């Protein structure tokens, strides 16, 4: 996966990125993204070869082994090009420009991203993985190098014209401009999004595509909200079926908890084994909301096991969370996770094996590759009980002991590589997931984990008052992007509602003001991805697609609504409405591209709602009321607490109505407010 340290180090040796470090001993004369490389290209009039990837990317490792570790290929690269490596997770702004170019040229993209640029950084050819020999309808990497060098030398003007045309397409694809009439009727767009999801829904297996199948928690969030706000039972059924199918499949780690990035098949059976922090955080939030609605113990088990995985395998000593774990170990994908029947027979008792084999779809031939098996649920307890002649309780106990033995056995294997950089945005998603899980399950331990992560980010990622993007080995680097602000603000609001610690709401408000100053587009509406401080990033774009992660603008629209309504801030509410209208006008015919923005539109279509709990000295009555408020699924309803001694001064200054709210007859009281009007206080939410 990494190049041999026997090779002399190149310039990447001074970088903190785990991905760049993996290439620090390639014979390629790699440069990090920066002026040193750009100046060399201009001085020598050489094109740039730009390679973008990330440390847990399987095909990035493959291309490194096949091409970048080859002395012969490296000589060609060093002679003909200035070679730059970029970690897309550190520089999503750079990645966005050239991924947009790839999609404009090829109508697809992915990593590794391979781009050839003019010395002024304009792309003239973009692809993804190139094999060492022609295959899969692709030229070999060496052939591509030679052909593009020849074009640079012998068809120079044509190359420059091509670069300008590609940049025009990139700019057109990146700029989200407001129309003269920015008013948009959101109701039909919400309806259309539901219709498109129903058409794409896999009724038998759950999910919303054929293979490969990605979790896309943004879809689940929209469907649960649509059920709540519109009473749409079909939306709820699609969401719950998909959540159950995912946690039963091989994409979910049946032994150690946590979700892989996606399933390569339509059955959720065989995962692409890398585990990403952003998936764990979003899926925790989705399962927490589903548990609030259903009380399904299976959802609670998935939440606890996933948090167990994140705490055990992704958490730094500081309490913040690392980025990802690789799919590969021992040079092969999935080796850490899969089992042969012989390995299972050796590890388990005959009774345990007899229960495990039918339950998890184990075969002698293997359900994966080379006789190996991925554990995925294929039978119910009742079915296995009937097959083995045991009771369901006995089968359940056997499966539990089998999983414990296999998990212990797996601990002795060589673990996949872990990317130990700490990203603000992805930690924000994890804070949300932990906070919502704590509220839904009534488990303060999960909120404590969220607080540790939030406290570390607040203490370290604002060295000069401005939010930063990445922490690695003590180095804080790169100004925060929109996703950093959006995801962390959402996480801090969720954490306030799970703990009522006002400092998190205060920090969310501070970060929102900073984001509005640096990223808000006053002319067109919506937020830019960057502050525009770096001239090497040729396009200042706005994110307009909810993919594996939600678009920053989708989450920011929701944040503006939440804070605007909470603090009676008409300017924030107006910005939320402008953002929603801007992007829904862009995706009006295909709203399934931005289900989180459609969810924001759904939230904006309903009047603001608040529950303010006035705590009393009767701790039991306060705890009972708080638990009732937190465990119910009430999207779009803000939850506040007034302490027994009176409202926090900062909170009272921002939400003046809390000043008049107090307990009733010595008992904690809930003030339920809707559309800026509060009902009489009650001492139980059922009343």
Q: In this structure, is residue 521 part of a structural domain?
A: yes
Is the domain of 261 the same as that of 282? yes
Residues 6+ apart with CB under 8 A from 214: 261, 262, 547, 548
Render pLDDT for 622-664 as a digit per residue (tens, 0 to 9): 999 999 999 999 999 999 999 998 899 999 999 988 988 999 9
Q: In this structure, is residue 313 part of a structural domain?
A: yes
Band the pLDDT of 117: cuts 50, 70, 90: very high
Decide if pLDDT at 180 tops 60.
Answer: no
Q: Which of 575, 604, 633 is the last residue of a domain?
A: 604
> What's the confidence (pLDDT) of residue 331?
84
Decide if pLDDT at 21 tops 50.
Answer: yes
Decide if pLDDT at 536 tops 70.
Answer: yes
> What is the domain count for the chain?
4
Band the pLDDT of 1: cuts 50, 70, 90: very low
> What's the confidence (pLDDT) of residue 687?
62
> What's the confidence (pLDDT) of residue 5?
62
Is the domain of 252 the same as that of 362? no
Tokens 């610690």 locate to 501
Query: Distance (Å, rounded) from C-alpha 425 to C-alpha 216?
Result: 17
Average pLDDT value for residue range 126-155:
94
Decide if pLDDT at 4 tops 70.
Answer: no
The closest alpha carbon to 416, from 39, 41, 42, 1, belongs to 1
Query: Distance (Å, rounded) from C-alpha 433 to C-alpha 293?
Result: 16
Residues 6+ apart with CB under 8 A from 494: 285, 431, 432, 435, 436
Q: Which domain holds residue 349?
A: 337-412
Query: Distance (Å, rounded) from C-alpha 229 to C-alpha 436?
Result: 19
Is the domain of 393 the same as that of 296? no
Of the chain, the percentage scoring pLDDT greater than 90 comes to 90
DSSP summary character for residue 214? -
Render pLDDT for 332-378 as a digit per residue (tens, 0 to 9): 889 999 999 999 999 999 999 999 999 999 999 999 988 999 999 99
Average pLDDT value for residue range 106-115:
91
- The CATH code of the domain that includes 107 is 3.40.30.10
What is the Cβ-side half-sphere exposure of residue 603, based on CA atoms within 13 angstroms?
33
Decide if pLDDT at 231 tops 90.
Answer: yes
Q: In this structure, is residue 683 part of a structural domain?
A: no
Query: Between β-strands 637-642 and 669-674, what pairing exists: parallel, antiparallel or unpaired?
Result: unpaired
Q: Is residue 519 within 8 Å of residue 489, measured between CB atoms?
A: no
Angle, vertex CA 9, rays to CA 5 and CA 11, nearest 5:
145
Decide if pLDDT at 241 tops 90.
Answer: yes
User: What's the start-to-end Cα distance of the chain, in Å?
Assistant: 61
Alpha-carbon distance values, 597 to 37, 186, 201, 389 (Å): 39, 11, 20, 51
> What is the sign, positive or negative, of the torsion defined by CA atoms of 672, 674, 676, 677?
negative
pTM of the model: 0.96
Q: In this structure, is residue 204 part of a structural domain?
A: yes
Q: Which of 559, 587, 604 is the last residue of a domain?
A: 604
Is the domain of 287 the same as that of 433? yes
Is the domain of 76 the same as that of 210? no
Task: Compute, in degrees rounded to 10, the torsion defined by CA atoms 478, 481, 486, 487.
Answer: -50
Task: Compute, in degrees rounded to 10, the torsion defined by CA atoms 653, 655, 660, 661.
Answer: -130
Is the domain of 600 the same as that of 614? no
> What's the confidence (pLDDT) of residue 477?
97
Average pLDDT, the chain: 95
Query: Distance (Å, rounded) from C-alpha 264 to C-alpha 254?
Result: 17
Is the domain of 158 the same as that of 74? yes
Is the domain of 405 the same as that of 444? no
Q: Is residue 45 within 8 Å of residue 3, measured between CB atoms?
A: no
Q: Which of 150, 174, 198 is the last residue of a domain?
A: 174
Render pLDDT for 672-684 as a digit per residue (tens, 0 to 9): 988 878 888 998 8
Q: In this structure, is residue 659 part of a structural domain?
A: yes
Decide if pLDDT at 198 tops 90.
Answer: yes
Is the domain of 152 the same as that of 32? yes
Query: How would you class 585 by CB atoms within 10 Å of its CB: exposed for 0-12, middle for 13-18, buried for 19 or more?
Result: middle
Is the domain of 566 the same as that of 626? no
- The CATH code of the domain that includes 511 is 1.50.10.10
Is the domain of 205 the same as that of 319? yes
What is the Cβ-side half-sphere exposure of residue 105, based on CA atoms within 13 angstroms?
24
Q: In this structure, is residue 48 part of a structural domain?
A: yes
Band the pLDDT of 686: cuts 50, 70, 90: confident
**DSSP bridge pairs for 475:** 472
Query: Distance (Å, rounded) from C-alpha 522 to C-alpha 517?
Result: 10
What are the residue ranges of helices labelled H in 442-501?
A: 444-460, 482-499
The closest alpha carbon to 330, from 23, 1, 20, 53, belongs to 1
Query: How would you class 457 by CB atoms within 10 Å of its CB: exposed for 0-12, middle for 13-18, buried for 19 or more?
Result: buried
Decide if pLDDT at 298 tops 90.
Answer: yes
Decide if pLDDT at 607 tops 60.
Answer: yes
Q: In this structure, is residue 2 part of a structural domain?
A: no
Helix, coil or strand: residue 110: coil
The closest alpha carbon to 253, from 374, 136, 351, 161, belongs to 374
Is the domain of 461 the same as that of 600? yes
> What's the confidence (pLDDT) of residue 645?
86
Q: In this structure, is residue 180 part of a structural domain?
A: no
Band the pLDDT of 2: cuts 50, 70, 90: very low
Q: Is residue 584 within 8 Å of residue 186, measured between CB atoms?
A: yes
């Amino acid at each position: 996966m990494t190049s041999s340290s026997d090779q002399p180090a190149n310039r990447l040796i001074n970088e903190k990125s785990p991905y760049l470090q993996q290439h620090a001993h390639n014979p390629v004369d790699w440069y990090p993204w920066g002026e040193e490389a750009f100046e060399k290209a201009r001085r020598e009039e050489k094109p740039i070869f730009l390679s973008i990837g990330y440390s847990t990317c399987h095909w990035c490792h493959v291309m490194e082994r096949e091409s970048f570790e080859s002395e012969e290929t490296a000589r060609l690269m060093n002679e003909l090009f200035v070679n730059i490596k970029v970690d897309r997770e550190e520089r999503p702004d750079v990645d966005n420009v050239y991924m947009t170019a790839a999609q404009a040229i090829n109508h697809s993209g992915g990593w590794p991203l391979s781009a050839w640029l003019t010395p002024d950084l304009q792309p003239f050819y973009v692809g993804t993985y190139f094999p060492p020999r022609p295959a899969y309808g692709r030229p070999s990497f060496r052939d591509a190098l030679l052909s593009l060098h020849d074009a640079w030398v012998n068809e120079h003007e044509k190359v420059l014209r091509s670069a300008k045309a590609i940049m025009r397409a990139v700019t057109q694809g990146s700029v989200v401009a407001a129309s003269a009439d920015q008013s948009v009727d959101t109701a039909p767009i919400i309806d259309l999004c539901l219709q498109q999801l129903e058409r794409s829904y896999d009724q038998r297996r759950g999910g919303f595509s054929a293979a490969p199948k990605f979790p896309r928690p943004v879809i689940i969030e929209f469907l649960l909200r649509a059920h709540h706000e519109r009473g749409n039972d079909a939306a709820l059924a699609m969401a719950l079926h998909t959540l159950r199918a995912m946690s039963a499949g091989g994409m979910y780690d049946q032994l150690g908890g946590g979700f892989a990035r996606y399933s390569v098949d339509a059955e959720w059976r065989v995962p692409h084994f890398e585990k990403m922090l952003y998936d764990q955080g979003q899926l925790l939030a989705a399962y927490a909301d589903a548990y609030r609605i259903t009380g399904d113990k299976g959802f609670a088990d998935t939440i606890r096991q996933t948090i167990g995985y994140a705490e055990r395998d992704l958490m730094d000593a500081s309490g913040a969370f690392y980025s990802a774990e690789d799919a590969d170990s021992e040079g092969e994908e999935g080796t850490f996770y899969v089992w042969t029947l012989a390995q299972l027979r050796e590890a388990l008792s005959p009774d345990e094996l007899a229960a495990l084999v039918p339950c998890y779809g184990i075969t002698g031939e293997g359900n994966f590759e080379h006789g190996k098996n991925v554990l995925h649920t294929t039978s119910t307890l009742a079915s296995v009980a009937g097959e083995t002649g045991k009771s369901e309780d006995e089968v359940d106990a056997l499966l539990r002991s089998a999983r414990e033995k296999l998990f212990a056995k797996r601990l002795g294997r060589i673990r996949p590589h872990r990317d130990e950089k700490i990203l603000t945005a992805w930690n924000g998603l994890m804070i949300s997931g932990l906070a919502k899980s704590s509220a839904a399950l009534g488990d303060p331990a999960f909120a404590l984990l969220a607080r540790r992560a939030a406290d570390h980010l607040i203490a370290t990622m604002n060295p000069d008052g401005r939010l930063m993007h990445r922490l690695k080995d003590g180095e804080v680097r790169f100004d925060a992007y929109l996703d950093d602000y959006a995801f962390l603000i959402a996480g801090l609001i969720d954490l306030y509602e799970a703990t009522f610690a006002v400092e998190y709401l205060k920090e969310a408000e501070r970060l929102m003001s900073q984001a509005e100053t640096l990223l808000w587009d006053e002319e067109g509406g919506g937020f830019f991805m960057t502050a525009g401080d770096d001239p090497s990033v040729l396009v200042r774009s706005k994110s307009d697609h909810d993919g594996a992660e939600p678009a920053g603008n989708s989450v920011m629209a929701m944040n503006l609504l939440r804070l605007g309504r909470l603090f009676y801030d008409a300017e924030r509410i107006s910005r939320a409405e402008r953002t929603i209208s801007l992007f829904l006008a862009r995706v009006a015919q295909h709203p399934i591209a931005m289900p989180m923005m459609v969810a924001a539109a759904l939230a904006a279509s309903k009047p603001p709602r608040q529950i303010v709990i006035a705590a009393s000295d009767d701790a039991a009555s306060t705890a009972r009321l708080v638990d009732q408020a937190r465990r119910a699924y009430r999207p779009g309803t803000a939850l506040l607490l007034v302490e027994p001694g009176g409202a926090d001064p900062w909170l009272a200054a921002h939400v003046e109505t809390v000043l008049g709210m107090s307990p009733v007859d010595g008992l904690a009281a809930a003030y339920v407010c809707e559309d800026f009007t509060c009902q009489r206080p009650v001492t139980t939410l059922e009343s």
